[in-house]
Amino acid sequence: MRARTAPPVCQTAGCHRPCRTGPVPSGTLDGVSEQAEQAARKTGRGAKRVADSRWFELTARAGFVGSGIVHLLIGYLAILLGVGNASSGSETDQSGALQQLAAVPGGVVLLWIVAVGCAALTIRLVVEAVVGGRTDSARAWGNRLKNVGKAVVYGLIAYSAASYAVGAGTSSSGSSRSAAAKALATPGGVFLLLLVAAVAVAIGVGLVVIGGRRSFWKQLVRPRQPLDRVVTVLGVVGYVLKGIAVVVVGVLIAVAGFRSDPDQATGLDGAFDALRSMPGGVFVLVAIGIGFLAFGVFSFFRARYARR
């Protein structure tokens, strides 16, 4: 009968307990990875329950209201620019809209409502992107990417609104020029700007397609007539005309890349100025302003009829 050998003693100073040496059994590693996966799933389900809770849903819906307010103000400023009544030096983009909001009585409160609502909507979209899909199909990944893109947009609105609420807001056009200048100063910066331009044009075309096909109804519970028809008109007009404006932004970014001129990359503000300087551009600019007004009102209906 072979004598049983004692397990090796730990070599750590001051420790004389037996310890295990050699490779960890593969079954143990599989068990650890399975426990980690289960913990991640449990965490994801917990986050999903919080995001789907009634109070969080109401807060997130306020994000659509905040987005609607910003779009209404952008549309108003675009129309003023089109008819020649815009004040000197005023911006007709998101930062200009938030400046207008900060200037009205109680504007700081409204800015915080916009910031909190958009932040909650951002968190919900991120949760949907991470744990919302149950399959790994191409369609599911496409929906995840859409949610990530929307989260970035609403996150930027939340950040900008909070910045203006505390008096630290900055010009969107200035930020765009600065970012373009930094990109052009780096190796391959021209290609980076062209990539950003291509993404902007793709987003704009996507908005036009959503409006033309009326596919925004996939995200909404249809109300009864005649309200259904009203929301449809607002959605079509808002998505199509906003999409055109975003395409113009993408074209200007591409021009900045081709000419190596960061001053061309000015966002919506520059896009509106470019449209206004074209023959008949005043009418196009006023039409796009109406489109932003329509999208703003549509966002209010979206807050009410968005699917859970």
Give per-residue pLDDT as tens, 140-191. 777 788 888 888 888 888 888 888 888 776 666 556 666 767 766 777 777 8
Q: Tell me, yes or no, whether 144 lies in a domain.
A: yes
Residue 88 has a pLDDT of 47
Nearest to 116 by CA among 144, 158, 86, 83: 158
The tally of domains found in the chain comes to 1
Q: Tell me, yes or no, whether 143 lies in a domain.
A: yes
Average pLDDT of the chain to the nearest whole number:
77
Residue type, 232: T
Q: Tell me, yes or no, whether 12 lies in a domain.
A: no
Residue 219 has a pLDDT of 86
Q: Tell me, yes or no, whether 110 lies in a domain.
A: yes
- Parent domain of 221: 48-305
Q: Tell me, yes or no, whether 249 lies in a domain.
A: yes
Q: Tell me, yes or no, whether 103 lies in a domain.
A: yes
Mean pLDDT of 34-42: 60
Q: Tell me, yes or no, whether 243 lies in a domain.
A: yes
Q: Tell me, yes or no, whether 222 lies in a domain.
A: yes
CA angle 290/57/54 to nearest 5° reads 145
Residue 126 has a pLDDT of 84
Q: What pTM did the predictor assign?
A: 0.72
- Compute φ and ψ for 279, nearest 5 degrees: -60, 125
Confirm if 160 and 233 have CB atoms less than 8 A apart.
Answer: no
Residue 40 has a pLDDT of 54
